[in-house]
Amino acid sequence: MTSTTHHETQIVSDPDVPLVRIVREFDAPVEKVFRAHTDPDLVVQWLGPRGMTMTIDRFDCRSGGSYRYIHGRDGEEFAFHGSFHEVRPNELIVQTFTFEGFPDQVALEKLVLEDIGGGRTRLTATSLVDSFADRDAFVASGMETGVVEGYERLDEVLGGI
């Protein structure tokens, strides 16, 4: 197994609007980071915390497409779905996101990729909801573990493609 550098993941709750902002750098070019987010065969290898199995119901990652997937662990299942509002190659993915355990809650998510030179990429992911209470409950629910471990797994996927 090759050694992989894991950069720090910044997770910040915006003080003014009910939004969480995640910033993470990757030692891979934007093209690869984008592909790892849009090709379902790659997405299943890294999205979510370690120890989860991910099953894709649908994953049509294009402007106007939609997705649904299930995370499973120890017999428990957690399903998520949403729509891809815009997919702009190597730059931007705007999508909606619902955890089916709270079917009336919807987040608007934006993923922005920037080429920061040297074959490296800065990813900025924001998640916007309509109340601070829901945003804070989401952050307190342990999303940090899933995000940090997911991006460590993504480092490993990027090292192999």
How is residue 151 written in tokens? 């991006």
Size of the site for a copy of itself (CB under 8 A): 26
CA distance 115 to 137: 33
Minimum distance between the CB of residue 100 and a copy of itself, rounded to whole angstroms?
11
Q: Is 79 in the site for a copy of itself (CB under 8 A)?
A: no
Q: Which of residues 91-130 bind a copy of itself (CB under 8 A)?
A: 94, 96, 98, 106, 108, 110, 126, 128, 130
Q: Which of residues 40-69 bind a copy of itself (CB under 8 A)?
A: 58, 63-66
Name which of 37, 29, 19 is nearest 111 in CA terms: 37
Contact 43, 36 (CB under 8 A): yes
Contact 90, 31 (CB under 8 A): yes
Q: Is 70 in the site for a copy of itself (CB under 8 A)?
A: no
Q: Is 23 in the site for a copy of itself (CB under 8 A)?
A: no
Q: Which of 6, 7, 85, 120 binds a copy of itself (CB under 8 A)?
A: 85
CA distance 52 to 72: 5
Measured from the Cβ of residue 69, the count of other Cβ atoms closer than 10 Å reads 20
Residue numbers of the site for a copy of itself (CB under 8 A)? Answer: 16-19, 58, 63-66, 81-86, 94, 96, 98, 106, 108, 110, 126, 128, 130-132
